[in-house]
Amino acid sequence: MFSMFFDQSEKQLAKAKSEFEYARDLQGDSREKRAVRVRAAMRCKLVLDKIFIEAAQMEAVFQEESMIAAAAGENPPQKLEETAKESICYQVVKSLNGHAIGYVPQPYAGEMAELGAQFEKGIINSRQAIEVAEKIGDRLADELKMDLYLIQPIDPLSFMREKLDEFDARRQGLPGSSEPGTDETFKPDSSSTKTSTSKPPAVEKAVKKQSEAPPEDNYSWD
């Protein structure tokens, strides 16, 4: 389930949103304004990662429950349309001071959630997910005026890319292996009864590890 805010006050949620909007609406440039924008961008990256991971997990649960219901001759479970809810915009992420609430606007949150679900269903492979996530990050970075600094701190799914690079490096020189980066490497496994992608073990481990321990936010908002 998405990181809901059962014990989070409206004040905390409003604070997370206002911090993003403050960074987005800053005009001009200075050392202080750059720090604000970079902090906001780093927080957004963590939120996007969290949304993707939890959307994939929710899709996996839904698929499993659907198969159980079908086997029992029961009606399939009702799918929660989380991508349409404001709640996914807010995610609990790690910070230097423990945990904090991060925020991204609904269009980005909804797209990232849909991306996670498509990845789990096998509609897209690992590299396609990364490519789309990068475009989402680029648009969000433009909104924060990060183009002023020639850097891209909003780099969603970087943990997955790193594992894929390691996977490709190990594949180099192996007899009969396809070229790294081709769709053939990451096609869904049609022989499986599950609808998830046939991901390299390293990618599956990376996603699992990321869901259990999100990357540290190196900036403090408090």
Q: DSSP readout, 76-128? A: PPPPP-GGGSGGGGEEEEEETTEEEEEE--HHHHHHHHHHHHHHHHTSS-HHH
Return the residue matching tokens 């990181």: 3
pLDDT band per the 50, 70, 90 thresholds, residue 107: very high
pTM for the model stands at 0.73
pLDDT of residue 205: 55
pLDDT band per the 50, 70, 90 thresholds, residue 5: very low
Query: Phi, psi at residue 99, to the nearest 5°?
Result: -130, 150
pLDDT of residue 167: 78
Of the listed ranges 41-55, 138-152, 154-168, 201-215, the least confidently predicted one is 201-215
Of the listed ranges 46-50, 95-99, 115-119, 180-184, the least confidently predicted one is 180-184
Taking Cα atoms as reference points, which of 33, 55, 69 lies closest to residue 149?
A: 33
Q: Are 151 and 158 in contact (CB under 8 A)?
A: no
Helical spans, DSSP H, in the chain = 10-25, 31-71, 106-121, 126-143, 158-171, 201-212
For the segment 190-218, what is each residue's pLDDT rounded down to a tens digit? 333 233 344 555 555 555 555 554 444 44
Position 2 pLDDT exceeds 80? no
Count of alpha carbons within 13 angstroms of residue 215, beta-carbon side: 21
